[in-house]
């Protein structure tokens, strides 16, 4: 099965490259938590592997982002309740499927919370101790260390907190790409320009929704000029709640222009029928309304770059 793995990735300057030295741009989608998908909850009738197949074979993604909820979601127990069970039934299944499909897979520890506490340190350390050890030889995996740290809203404090977690992962896998976000839901990233996280194969993870577009240069403008940045979440729908209420013309098109001009990698959120902003309706169909929903826009954007780097 491992023979089908895509080439190993590494960072050179601001670019992601494959082992042969060629530049690659990763374009994909974030799906829902694999345990929630495999439990067919909230009206879902497709499971984890079926959704991964649709994303690759029908939408042409070269990477999928897998959000692992440690505390559970959609009335499911989550990773933290029984890590072994979650690994066997969900995470291992996703990893094996990604290899079968020949794509990259981001394992995202999907925490959305303040980041300085003994509880969080224990959770993050425990998760990555298991995951980095188990998957250290899988060249198609990328590790996203902490989905959205919230407060303190201080880059230097976040940097000091995250470095020991990076060091922990590096004990097991010295080369795997690691995605690092920033405080305030991955908005406060400008501090990394003057005080970066040094190390091999580090990429900054940014999240941009319609409410954030006006502050794009403030949050990420300087960063994308100096370092590799991966927009691991973007999306919109109208009507919708802040921060994702927006339209194709007011957000989708101008966001795409910035991404394309800077040759950045990206994930659309969310390749699901329930988690907003959603790509599908409850029937797992793309809404016809191209202005107020992101489905057609996302699929067409992926189609423009299908089979390209």
Helix (H) or strand (E) run with residue 59 in it: none
pLDDT digit string (tens) for 41-99?
A: 999 999 999 999 999 999 999 999 999 999 999 999 999 999 999 999 999 999 999 99
Into which CATH architecture does domain 2-304 fall?
Answer: Alpha-Beta Barrel (3.20)
Q: Is the pLDDT of residue 308 over 70?
A: no
Q: Is the pLDDT of residue 309 over 90?
A: no
| Residues near 70 by beta carbon (within 8 Å), at least 6 away in sequence | 78, 79, 80, 109, 110, 111, 123, 127
Q: Residue written as tokens 């425990």?
A: 126
pLDDT digit string (tens) for 135-173?
A: 999 999 999 999 999 999 999 999 999 999 999 999 999
Confidence of residue 2 (pLDDT cuts 50, 70, 90): low
Q: Where are the domains of the chain?
A: 2-304
pLDDT digit string (tens) for 175-216?
A: 999 999 999 999 999 999 999 999 999 999 999 999 999 999
Structure tokens at 64: 């999928």
Q: Residue written as tokens 């197949």?
A: 53
pLDDT digit string (tens) for 227-258?
A: 999 999 999 999 999 999 999 999 999 999 99
Q: Is the pLDDT of residue 307 over 90?
A: no
| Residues near 288 by beta carbon (within 8 Å), at least 6 away in sequence | none
pTM of the entire predicted model: 0.96
Q: What is the pLDDT of residue 4?
A: 82
CA atoms within 13 A on the CB side of 127: 28
Q: Is the pLDDT of residue 222 over 80?
A: yes
First to last CA, the chain: 24
Q: Is the pLDDT of residue 305 over 90?
A: no
What does pLDDT average to over the chain?
Answer: 96
Separation CA 12–CA 18 (nearest Å):
10
Separation CA 72–CA 90 (nearest Å):
13
pLDDT digit string (tens) for 113-129?
A: 999 999 999 999 999 99
| Residues near 302 by beta carbon (within 8 Å), at least 6 away in sequence | 27, 59, 60, 61
Q: What is the pLDDT of residue 9?
A: 97
**DSSP 3-state of 88:** helix
Q: What is the pLDDT of residue 131?
A: 98
CB 89 within 8 A of CB 48: no
Q: Is the pLDDT of residue 282 over 70?
A: yes
Q: What is the pLDDT of residue 304?
A: 87
For 227-252, b where at least 16 C-beta lie within 10 A, e where not — what string? bbbbbbbbbbbbebeebbbbbbeebb
């Amino acid at each position: 099965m491992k023979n089908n793995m895509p080439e190993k990735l590494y960072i050179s300057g601001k670019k992601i490259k494959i082992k042969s030295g060629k530049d690659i741009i990763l374009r994909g989608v974030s799906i829902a938590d694999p345990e929630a998908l495999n439990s067919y909850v909230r009206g879902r009738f497709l499971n984890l592997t079926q959704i991964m197949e649709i994303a690759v074979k029908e939408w042409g993604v070269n990477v999928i982002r897998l959000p692992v909820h440690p505390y559970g979601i959609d009335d499911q127990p989550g990773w933290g309740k029984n890590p072994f069970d979650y690994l066997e039934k969900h995470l291992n299944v996703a990893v094996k499927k990604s290899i079968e499909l020949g794509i990259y897979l981001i394992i995202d520890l999907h925490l959305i919370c303040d980041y300085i506490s003994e509880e969080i340190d224990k959770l993050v350390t425990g998760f990555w101790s298991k995951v980095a050890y188990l998957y250290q030889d899988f060249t198609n995996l990328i590790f996203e260390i902490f989905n959205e740290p919230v407060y303190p809203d201080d880059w230097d404090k976040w940097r000091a907190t995250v470095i020991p977690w990076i060091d922990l992962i590096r004990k097991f896998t010295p080369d795997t790409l690691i995605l690092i976000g920033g405080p305030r839901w991955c908005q406060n990233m400008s501090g990394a320009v003057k005080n970066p996280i040094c190390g091999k194969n580090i990429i900054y993870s940014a999240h941009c929704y319609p409410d954030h577009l006006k502050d794009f240069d403030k949050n990420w403008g300087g960063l994308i000029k100096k370092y590799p940045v991966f927009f691991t979440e973007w999306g919109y729908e109208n009507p919708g709640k802040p921060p994702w209420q927006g339209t194709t013309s007011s957000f989708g098109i101008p966001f795409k222009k910035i991404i394309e001009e800077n040759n950045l990698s990206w994930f659309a959120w969310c390749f699901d029928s329930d988690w907003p902003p959603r790509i599908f309706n409850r029937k797992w169909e793309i809404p016809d309304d191209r202005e107020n929903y992101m489905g057609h826009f996302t699929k067409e954007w992926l189609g423009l770059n299908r089979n390209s780097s």
